[in-house]
Amino acid sequence: MKKLAMSVALSSLVVLAACQPKEDAPAASTALETPEQRFSYGMAYNMGERMVAESLEVDADAFAAGVQDALSGAESKLTDEEIAAEMAAFQARMQAKMENEAEEAGATNAAEGEAFLAENATKEGVMATESGLQYKVESMGDGAKPAATDVVRVHYRGTLLNGEEFDSSYSRGEPAEFGLNQVIAGWTEGLQLMPVGSKFTFYIPSDLAYGSRGAGAKIGPSSTLIFEVELLDIVTPAE
């Protein structure tokens, strides 16, 4: 939330640094004829786009008045203490809004995940472990199975329930290597079921994935994930 608040503050500082106050400032104009006018409009428009992208609730007239007062050297209509208080209140409102949205999204994702897994469990070839991890054997290799402390080399593709891809070693054009004790629980458990040379599909409940926190911009809270995984090799066997 500090980032959101600072976005407004930094944007204002950029405007103040780029423009020199004028004692006799002309009336606002929509003309975009001079380099100064075009630069000023472009900067303001970019600021507006960032505010929209960050869902900042800004009153355009009040914002413009604040910039104009600063550029003209007029005394602020709010004291430093009042500005600080409003910034803190804004942060609190945005934090509450984000938490509420995350809670709602998490509840929706959890319900969709439960329904998906319940139906998926009835499909031919889908098996489940005691933890709730579901998997399907696409092809079975004949190599060794890794232990939880092994480093493995894999190719994989991860998708959401709607089919959207959020990560893929195939897309990057090279396999990934990682320790099985350094990944989500669904992977740690699932890879130990796979002999080298196998390809499985994992259906991972949120509590075995990223839970209520989600991960990055694409994996929302309480998301059930699907991974296609090929176990290529055990790089560092456990001792």
**41 has catalytic annotation:** no
Average pLDDT over residues 2-27: 42
Q: Which of 41, 90, 116, 166 is catalytic?
A: 166
Kindly state the tokens that stand for 43.
């900067």
- Is pLDDT at 25 greater than 70 in this prediction? no
Separation of alpha carbons 102 and 96, rounded Å:
10
Q: Which of 135, 200, 202, 210 is catalytic?
A: 210
Q: Which of 167, 178, 207, 233 is catalytic?
A: 167
What pLDDT shows up at residue 115?
97
Q: How far is CA 149 from CA 71, 153, 182, 239, in A?
A: 62, 13, 9, 9
Q: Which residues of 143-173 are buried (b: 16+ CB within 10 A; e: fewer)?
A: eeebeeebbbbbbbbbebbeeeeebbbeeee
Kindly state the tokens that stand for 44.
């303001």
Q: Which of 83, 184, 207, 233 is catalytic?
A: 184
SS3 126: strand
Band (pLDDT 50/70/90 cuts) for residue 28 is low
Query: In 3-state terms, the chain is what percent helix, strand and coil (to 5)?
Result: 45, 20, 35
Tens of pLDDT, residue by residue over 69-110, are: 998 999 999 999 999 999 999 889 888 988 898 899 999 999
Q: Which of 203, 226, 227, 234 is catalytic?
A: 227
Q: How far is CA 29 from CA 34, 40, 100, 128, 153, in A?
A: 12, 11, 41, 67, 62
**90 has catalytic annotation:** no
**234 has catalytic annotation:** no
What are the phi and psi torsion angles at 12 (to 5°)? -65, -40
Q: Return the higher-pLDDT residue of 227 and 217.
A: 227
Q: Which amino acid is at 160?
A: L
What pLDDT shows up at residue 30?
72
What pLDDT shows up at residue 75?
92
Segments of the chain assigned E as strands: 126-128, 134-139, 151-159, 165-168, 176-179, 199-204, 225-236
Q: Which of 156, 200, 202, 203 is catalytic?
A: 156
